[in-house]
Amino acid sequence: MDLTGFSINQMTVKQLSLPELVKGCVELGVPGVGLWREPVAEYGLAAAARLVADAGLAVTSLCRGGFFTAIDPAERAAALADNRAAIEEAAALGTDTLVLVSGGLPSGSRDLAGARERIADALAELGPYAAERGVRLAIEPLHPMFASDRCVVSTLSQALDLAERFPAEQVGIVVDTYHLWWDDRIAEDIRRAGAGGRIHCFQLADWVTPLPEGVLNGRGQLGDGAVDMAWFRAAVAEAGYRGPVEVEIFNDVLWARDGAEVLAQTVERYRGLLSA
**Phi/psi at 151 (nearest 5 deg)?**
-160, 115
Is residue 71 near a second copy by the rule CB under 8 A? no
Residues 95-154 interacting with a second copy (rule: CB under 8 A): 105, 110-113, 116, 143-145, 147-149, 152, 154
Closest approach of a second copy to the CB of residue 136, in Å: 24
The minimum distance between CB 187 and a second copy, in angstroms, equals 10
How many chain residues interact with a second copy (CB under 8 A)?
32
**Closer CB to a second copy, residue 12 or residue 157?**
157
For residues 176 and 202, give the distance between their C-alpha atoms in angstroms, rounded to a whole number. Answer: 6
Q: What is the closest distance, in whole angstroms, from the C-beta atom of residue 107 to a second copy in the complex?
A: 10
Nearer to a second copy, 209 or 275 (CB): 209
By beta-carbon proximity to a second copy, the closer residue of 47 and 145 is: 145
Distance of CA 254 to the CA centre of its chain: 19
With H, G, I as helix, E, B as strand and everything else as coil, classify residue 181. Answer: coil
Q: How many whole angstroms separate alpha carbon 90 and alpha carbon 64?
A: 10
- For residue 181, the number of C-alpha atoms closer than 13 Å in the C-beta half-sphere is 19
Is residue 195 a contact partner of residue 239, using CB atoms and an 8 Å limit?
Answer: yes
Scan residues 143-172 and list those touching a second copy (CB under 8 A): 143-145, 147-149, 152, 154-155, 158
Shortest approach of a second copy to residue 225 CB, angstroms?
Answer: 7
Residue 182-221 contact track with a second copy, rule CB under 8 A, x = bound: xxx----------------------x-xxxxxxx------
Burial class (CB in 10 A: 0-12, 13-18, 19+), 218: buried
| Burial (CB count within 10 angstroms: exposed 0-12, middle 13-18, buried 19+), residue 187 | middle
Name the residues that contact a second copy, by CB under 8 A.
Answer: 105, 110-113, 116, 143-145, 147-149, 152, 154-155, 158, 181-184, 207, 209-215, 225-228
